Structure 1
């Protein structure tokens, strides 16, 4: 159905139009646009934006990937009008994000570009948020990580590098949020997304957030990631009883502790945290999970992470660590290297090509220059190449590092180059951290 009507735009406090070339992905799986999908177009900031895919759908809102004629991409979160609290959710999320950005925002929290009302063909009007477009969610990483594990490798979870990266990014987001007086109140893997261009994890979905000491939502957090005090409050509210259970910022730390445990183990813990054994002694179960993990990686000092997670999962919220104190844990001072699987899962503007160049080519200057020119010409077919590096010595000897102008180009190149053959060799293409590449730091990647 064609778009009709228009939109009234309300620029958000201290928001901005999305940057040209912004190309990360919001929650959920990509899916091709269905003919029955509504809307097909949004009119935003005086221009038409095409709906490319539906990225997620909940009870009160749907999320779409949209693009403008300027090749700018973003996400639109459209709230259902007066259905299951949709209007309330819009006002709640808008107010929280505008307040956060009024205090300069935070690199680990999704950016709100603006708000608008979409007027549909049948006279209906829906409230919408125009948001930064992000990439893969931790929920998707958990699925891909376990299904993509190598045969014979007992560990199904993610590497310590990945867990550390996510933990640090989200703790920094929470530390900022809690200093501003907010509780997120719905921390779960689907609400943590990777930003390919900013090379970090970001927190999304503030529909249940509240100011600490001024909780206006009784049913908070998602089953499986719900702190004991929130579980008690929800149960009492269901029974029609009013009791201030004192849900504080500590509920966010509990949720993050469960998420990190799932990332490490590769196991969904929903049934575990419902069990009698967990409620009686969750610390023993955490110890058991880490004991199993240490058999696979005995050299890795996982006890710092274990102690960090246990400090997040204390039943008494007053005894739980805060986001600020958690960031001081020795776990964050340990330098971990990424696994190859990590660099396949987390897009960045830099692509690394393996299995292409023989050592003999690196020591003949004329051949080396020819290879540089050939590789640059080939890689420019997929996007704008900023720089290209082929180290002659370890680390990184013979690998090809290609920096693209944005992650959209690098993702397209990775998709089209993987599995291709050059001189009878199969190409292996992974992403590579932009910050490490810029510093000239080439990981000896863990296989």
Structure 2
């Protein structure tokens, strides 16, 4: 832990339980996030603590009337603001869950306010890094777009604007098998915007950009930022997922301001983009509907969910199943056709695989199809994604019956329905 935030021992007491601080997950200007696990209960799922840390006090003259409040007050305000938003938005599957709040009395700079949150997995930002400029699969883009739009439709209905939607703030939930929105530090109730500088460079809507410029000049903007700013940000995120490119400099260029539609067309027509197929043009039109410079013409989250893009069935690529954890593990290159045909050998191998897989957690079910689709593949369902992730890490590359094992995850929802994807390339 940097600076021994939690004292000499990396432990903290929250909600009547003792938690071990395992690793830092990230930090911002006013808060840091840590991975934690409940002590004394190894089966309890890990969590995340977001600590709003006041900086050390600086000696100096008394604050002038009208001056900015001290950083300690900003940390307290940020905590109260995010807590209020998460409490009012609690219960939606595509919004990070707030478990509770507490005060850490052992912080280096005095008591600090903390949020105890569900721990999520890989972010869209990390997925983009792994895409190697090739772009994400249509399955992943569709999955992310639908999940985030569902979250936005809900929070906009509640009167909230997220105001900082970007790849780092969209994370995968391995347990619920969906993407979730995090970080409501800049969020506000529509019509009651309490901060001038919203959104992040590269994902900032034109009206927010104008507002920021005017605020820097000490002027008031006549245009109010609405929930439409979130749709703009999501449009940029989806365009980056499709192209595999960071578009910050593109969206800040004069060419974009003059004719963004032509640039979007060029990206979708590019030979370097793997996904240039007919269904991609439904995605192109969806993205264009989010990126109107006139916020009044921008699609709402509810309207965007009606796009024909969401009616197209896509299958995940094998890279998707390696990157996105679920409670189900899929083992490849384990069984030969001969093993499947000999019942006695099949049963022995089945027992060996079950015994090996149970080293990483209780196995809920195990399936080895003898016919296509899925012939010879091994599907192992664990009680939780944590066990599945541990097994995937240890079993990948292991030699079984003279063959190197390939271990990926598999959608729990598809597995439960008995649906085995035939094409995962």
| TM bin (shorter chain) | over 0.9
Q: CA deviation at 1:296?
A: 3.5
Residue 64 of structure 2 is matched in structure 1 by none
What is the distance in 2 between the residues matched to 1:61 and 1:445? 43
Q: CA deviation at 1:245?
A: 1.8
CA 1:177 to 1:122, structure 2 compared with 1: closer, same or farther past 3 Å? closer
Counting only pairs closer than 5 Å after superposition, residues 392-403 of structure 1 correspond to structure 2 as 392-403=370-381
What is the distance in 1 between the residues matched to 2:219 and 2:89? 33
Q: Secondary structure at the match of 2:89?
A: helix
Q: Secondary structure at the match of 1:381?
A: helix
Does 1:311 pair with 2:281? no
Q: Which of 35, 42, 49 is matched with 1:65 structurally? A: 35
Deviations 1:375-424 (A, max 9, x none): 11111111111000000111100000000111111101100111111122
TM-score using structure 1 length: 0.88
> How many correspondences in the alignment?
403
CA 1:57 to 1:298, structure 2 compared with 1: closer, same or farther past 3 Å? closer
Counting only pairs closer than 5 Å after superposition, residues 6-405 of structure 1 correspond to structure 2 as 36-39=3-6, 40-69=10-39, 70-71=41-42, 72=44, 73-81=46-54, 83=71, 85-101=74-90, 105-120=91-106, 124-146=110-132, 156-292=134-270, 296-405=274-383
TM-score using structure 2 length: 0.92
Deviates more, 1:38-47 or 1:116-125: 116-125
Residue 437 of structure 1 is matched in structure 2 by 415
Contact 1:350 1:404 in 2 (8 A): yes
Residue 427 of structure 1 is matched in structure 2 by 405
What is the distance in 2 between the residues matched to 1:293 and 1:219? 38
- 5+ residue gaps, structure 2, are 55-69
Contact 1:182 1:211 in 2 (8 A): yes
Deviations 1:331-380 (A, max 9, x none): 00000000000000000000000011111111222222222111111111
Contact 1:79 1:87 in 2 (8 A): yes
Q: Secondary structure at the match of 1:55?
A: strand
What is the distance in 1 between the residues matched to 2:147 and 2:396? 30
Contact 2:134 2:274 in 1 (8 A): no
Aligned-residue CA RMSD in angstroms?
1.5
Deviations 1:87-145 (A, max 9, x none): 211111001111122xxx20000010111111126671100001111111111111122
Contact 1:294 1:302 in 2 (8 A): no
Q: CA deviation at 1:300?
A: 4.5
Contact 1:253 1:321 in 2 (8 A): yes
Q: Secondary structure at the match of 2:32?
A: strand
Q: CA deviation at 1:244?
A: 3.5
CA 1:282 to 1:299, structure 2 compared with 1: closer, same or farther past 3 Å? closer
Contact 1:115 1:130 in 2 (8 A): yes
Deviations 1:34-53 (A, max 9, x none): 6x442222111222211000
What is the distance in 2 between the residues matched to 1:374 and 1:322? 53
CA 1:315 to 1:121, structure 2 compared with 1: closer, same or farther past 3 Å? closer
What is the distance in 2 between the residues matched to 1:122 and 1:252? 36
What is the distance in 1 between the residues matched to 2:413 and 2:314? 15
Deviations 1:311-341 (A, max 9, x none): 0000000100000000000000000000000
Q: Secondary structure at the match of 2:360?
A: coil
Q: Secondary structure at the match of 1:302?
A: helix
CA 1:48 to 1:166, structure 2 compared with 1: closer, same or farther past 3 Å? same
What is the distance in 2 between the residues matched to 1:157 and 1:123? 44
Deviates more, 1:257-266 or 1:243-252: 243-252
